[in-house]
Amino acid sequence: MSQYENMIKRQRKWMFYLLAILVLGAGFTPYTSIFLGLLLGSVVSFYNLYLLQKKIVDFTEAVAKEEKARGLGTFSRFAAAALAIVIALRFEEDVNIIAVIIGLMTSYPVIMIDFAMFKNKD
Amino acid sequence: MGALAAAIAVGLGALGAGVGNGLIVSKTVEGIARQPELKGQLQTTMFIGVGLVEAVPIIGVVIALMVM
């Protein structure tokens, strides 16, 4: 399995762990709106991460086979983030908007920590 | 004024992301075309680069929607 596929697997695993913790927080703590916001942001962040991973595989395969390459899905990711914020603004009493913004950024620490931990091991 | 602020935030954010992504993608395509056996390593580098470049414009979109 290539270095990239290993990295994708590890990142997916850590995002699922994080989502599980947030679901437990939303269900069993009194800070429901904060955890719901974090959950919404993290789900969208996970979707963005998945889309980026998939689009990069498609793009590089197309380049290696000398086929016509399609885009990287930048605007799909912007639109997903905008959708999360619109949902948070629509249900302002149930979802904390600052938590949504923090949730949207969760995939970046996952990427950076994973890279820092495994850059010499693969 | 809110709409103008939102437009400037998203527009300049997307401009920066466009330039950054363009540089990353052009170098990756060049690398894969020269050495296709290094594809896995180049994919990883491209993934981290594109991921980090797009963090700031996404924040820009969020701020624009909140300002509006």
B12 in A contact zone (CB under 8 Å): no
Residue A108: predicted pLDDT? 92
A101 in B contact zone (CB under 8 Å): yes
Mean pLDDT of chain A: 90
Chain B residue closest in CA terms to A80: B58
Residue A2: predicted pLDDT? 80
B26: pLDDT strictly greater than 90: yes
CATH number, domain of B56, equals 1.20.20.10
Q: How many helices (H) and strands (E) does chain A have?
A: 5, 0
A74 in B contact zone (CB under 8 Å): yes
Please name which of A89, A106, A7, A102 lies closest in space to residue A47, comparing C-alpha atoms.
A106
* Better-scored residue on pLDDT, A85 or B40: A85
Please name which of A60, A54, A105, A107 lies closest in space to residue A76, comparing C-alpha atoms.
A54
Residue A122: predicted pLDDT? 61
Q: How far apart are CA B44 and CA A119, in angstroms?
A: 10
Residue B1: predicted pLDDT? 87
Task: Determine the distance in angstroms separating the CA of B35 from the nearest CA of chain A, rounded to an integer.
Answer: 9
Q: Taking residues B45-54, what's their average pLDDT?
A: 91
A1: pLDDT strictly greater than 80: no
ipTM for the complex shown: 0.89
How far from the centroid of its chain's Cα atoms is residue A19's Cα?
A: 10
B67 in A contact zone (CB under 8 Å): no
**Total count of domains within chain B:** 1
Extents of the domains making up chain A: 3-118
Residue among A11, A78, A83, A118 with most chain B CBs within 10 A, to mutate: A78
Position B37 confidence tier, pLDDT thresholds 50, 70, 90:
confident
Please indicate whether, in this complex, the C-beta atoms of B25 and A74 are within 8 angstroms of each other: no
Please name which of A31, A32, A48, A52 lies closest in space to residue A106, comparing C-alpha atoms.
A48
Residue A119: predicted pLDDT? 76
Please indicate whether, in this complex, the C-beta atoms of A52 and B50 are within 8 angstroms of each other: yes
A86 in B contact zone (CB under 8 Å): yes
Which residues constitute the domain of residue B34? Answer: 1-67
Position A20 confidence tier, pLDDT thresholds 50, 70, 90:
very high
